[in-house]
Structure 1
Amino acid sequence: MVELKTPGEIEAMNVTGTFVAEVLGDLAQRAEPGVNLLDLEHRARDMVKHRGAESCYWDYAPSFGKGPFRNVICLAVNDAVLHGLPHDYELRDGDLLTMDMAVSIDGWVADSARTVIVGTPRPGDVGRGDVRLVEATERALDEAIAAARLGNRLGDVSAAVGEVASRYGYPVNTEFGGHGLGRTMHEEPHVPNVGRPGRGMPLRAGLTIAIEPWFAAGTDRIVYDPDGWTIRSADGSRTAHSEHTIAITEDGPRILTLTS
């Protein structure tokens, strides 16, 4: 069942979203060559604890995972893109680092992700390919958010993601996509990264969803690491992921995961 939020509840989600954006921004500044993923995890833990927030990932145990997730942020590098389990790895110049985080403050959840290039992009066409891949997910997110307005349907949002992927020449995996959220991290509806314009549920004021385009450069197939969590491109190609929590309002889409 889709639960619409009141203006006051959307404001509360915005408080959470602002904090999530602040954490991701802080970690992006710290993500330099030589920094260990576990250092970023511990920094995120400290920020969550200091804010009095509650991680939506800690003890998360979905059917596809291997045991409860005992971290507050997903950190994935290069060909890894989703559910990256923080581990003992020192970042290298040119790595693609994806950070994904969801927390609850006063009972209201926000979820966001971003991919950054550590240090300087790799040289030549290879490095430009990384920049282009990150750009594609960001543009897909922007265009999907623009489509998330009254009078449109959920399929318009999904189609916007798929159309950008097609323009850039990237395949789209359909196993994981966006989702509703509010009191919990995952609510109805599911928000696929491909869709048909004009199809699906009508977008109504008060709907809050996480839109999350993620692409691999060379494939739409995925594989899991032995840790049971980290998802990689099946062909080892580089990956990127962008995500915002938004609210549908009478005045248009409102992004809730931005710094103030």
Structure 2
Amino acid sequence: MNSVRQPAVAGSFYPGQAAALAHEVSTLLAEVPSHIGSAGPVPKALIVPHAGYIYSGATAALAYARLAPARHSIRRVVLLGPAHRVPVRGLALPDDDALATPLGQVAIDRAAVAQLAQLPQVVVSRSVHAHEHALEVQLPFLQTVLDDFQLVPLVVGHASAEDVAEVLERLWGGPETLLVVSSDLSHFLPYRAAQQADSQTMQAILRLDGPLSQQQACGGTSINGLLLAARHHGLQPRLLGMCNSGDTAGDLARVVGYAAVAFMEVDHAN
């Protein structure tokens, strides 16, 4: 019998009913300005935030709108995000056959998982995934902008940038494979201090200059691995937009930073 990881934050981070969720995601995507959205090359990799949609959904949509031209061609998504709930050493896959949201199920790419089986930094843990929101909140966007795709979901815990980069290299593939790193930026600084800190962090990302600390980005380990791989493959990053929770629905005294970044292959970049 197939095992399915059920949604943990439906109804809190995003709408719990399918119709309401589909409407919200479609609305967020429709509001992306055309010069940011489907204009330009399809990214090989994305950095997207993972807060509740009221806080960071509009920023995430800036990145996901860029996938529209590849709706039929992207068949595998390698999705990485930090462990918020259960600590883990290495990168954890779920012990499941699919991940569910109110929009349906996304199958795990078993062939890709088999490619990772011999890597010592990759482990399997259902408990790490069970209540983790960082990956889950990305799924409704992916289900909306892509057609038939499979998923390689990895919660990243205590690991090195090299550990992450090795996994990305193993699954790099061609245009059928998209890499997505789920990460917010600074946490709980005052509004102006957060703007300054996040701007410095973004300049480092755009220079492909790691490593980032966990204070700079909660998904810093995943980003660091992506930056290593991006340098190796000559990817060109582009900032699509950034803000913080003080700009959307939060208190200006303690904010969380968000950014959307697309990484393009240089041969096809603007």
Larger RCO of the pair (alpha carbons < 8 Å, separation 6+): 2
Same fold (TM over 0.5): no
With normalisation by structure 2, the TM-score equals: 0.29
Give the structure with the higher percent helix: 2
